[in-house]
């Protein structure tokens, strides 16, 4: 009986272990399970990265290991860190997806999506463009931040500009499986009624954690508007999303900034800056230049972080 009591006491002590100690213990356990890592994998698999995979799998080491190994296999073939801006720049010409020059209230990087401005037909390139911007957004996360926010403007959206369900599913799978715990919140601003039919299908591809981070905002619904404003300063928030700032996307300015970021990413991964492909950061957030005190041209004109 005393043996069973000691085991029970030990289990209870583990359950009462402080979260930070439990986290460190699980990270070390996952490290041991993965074994020695080399090259880009060793850069990718920082403690912060391992922690995200553990969180995504409810701290189950075996499941987190499987998920992470699948990501490493995907990255070895898809090579997101080797995507250069010039390869996807055509996708960004209309400003359908870009990194904003403002952050949310806690300093997270913001991606702005405008699906109504779809300008290409290649679904593979569209996904590649999104992956590039995800990696770029992570490169520009301030120290101590692991997640980003999405703002989705449905102006001009229709079924003719919508992505096929299969592409939506593939995109969701990439984001969930290979970028866990990177999304803090996604605001879908004023989606039209016809979007609801599409949403009913694609939401089944989302895991519960991702689904809970998606928020619908309707301008006439004060509760949803207030929720959004709890995440963003109304003075920084563009008018398209119910704020007071003017936002104008300038493709040439954005392209110059992406070229600069390609150099930063290449430096992180140890590539030759002159010949190396653009790169990504899953590891600890890289240092970034401070936000501009004056937006280029006019308030939020360039809509990018300098």
What pLDDT digit, counting tens, does each position of 71-111 carry? 999 999 999 999 999 999 999 999 999 999 999 999 999 99
> How many Cα atoms are found within 13 Å in the side-chain-facing hemisphere of 140?
30
Q: Which domains does the chain have, with CATH numbers?
A: 18-78 (1.10.8), 81-269 (3.40.525.10)
Calpha distance 173→2 (Å, rounded) = 49
End-to-end alpha-carbon separation of the chain, Å? Answer: 66
What pLDDT digit, counting tens, does each position of 14-24 carry? 555 566 677 89
Confidence of residue 299 (pLDDT cuts 50, 70, 90): very low
Calpha distance 172→272 (Å, rounded) = 32
Calpha distance 257→161 (Å, rounded) = 27
Beta strand 110-113 with 214-217 is: unpaired
* Predicted model pTM: 0.82
Task: Report yes or no: 82 and 208 within 8 Å, Cβ to Cβ.
Answer: no
Task: Return the SS3 of 107.
Answer: coil
Calpha distance 51→135 (Å, rounded) = 18
């Amino acid at each position: 009986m005393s043996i069973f009591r000691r085991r029970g006491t030990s289990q209870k002590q583990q359950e009462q272990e402080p979260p930070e100690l439990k986290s460190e213990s699980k990270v070390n356990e996952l490290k041991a399970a993965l074994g020695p890592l080399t090259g880009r994998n060793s850069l990718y698999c920082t403690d912060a990265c391992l922690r995200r995979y553990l969180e995504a799998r409810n701290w189950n080491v075996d499941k987190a290991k499987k998920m992470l190994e699948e990501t490493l296999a995907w990255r070895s073939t898809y090579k997101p860190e080797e995507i250069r801006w010039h390869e996807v720049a055509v996708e960004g010409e209309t400003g359908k997806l870009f990194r904003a020059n403002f952050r949310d209230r806690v300093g997270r990087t913001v991606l702005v999506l405008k699906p109504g401005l779809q300008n290409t037909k290649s679904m593979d390139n569209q996904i590649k463009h999104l992956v590039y911007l995800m990696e770029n957004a992570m490169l520009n996360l301030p120290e101590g931040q692991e997640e980003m926010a999405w703002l989705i403007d449905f102006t001009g959206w229709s079924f003719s500009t919508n992505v096929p369900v299969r592409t939506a599913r593939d995109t969701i799978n990439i984001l969930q499986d290979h970028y866990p715990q990177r999304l803090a919140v996604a605001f879908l601003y004023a989606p039209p009624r016809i979007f609801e039919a599409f949403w009913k299908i694609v939401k089944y591809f989302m895991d519960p954690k991702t689904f809970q981070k998606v928020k619908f905002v309707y301008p006439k619904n004060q509760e949803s508007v207030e929720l959004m404003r709890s995440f963003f300063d109304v003075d920084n928030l563009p008018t398209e999303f119910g704020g007071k700032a003017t936002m104008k996307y300038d493709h040439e300015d954005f392209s110059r900034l992406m070229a600069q970021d390609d150099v930063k990413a290449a430096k992180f991964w140890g590539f030759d800056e002159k010949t190396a492909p653009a790169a990504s950061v899953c590891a600890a957030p890289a240092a970034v230049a401070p936000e501009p005190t004056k937006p280029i041209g006019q308030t939020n004109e360039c809509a990018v972080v300098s």
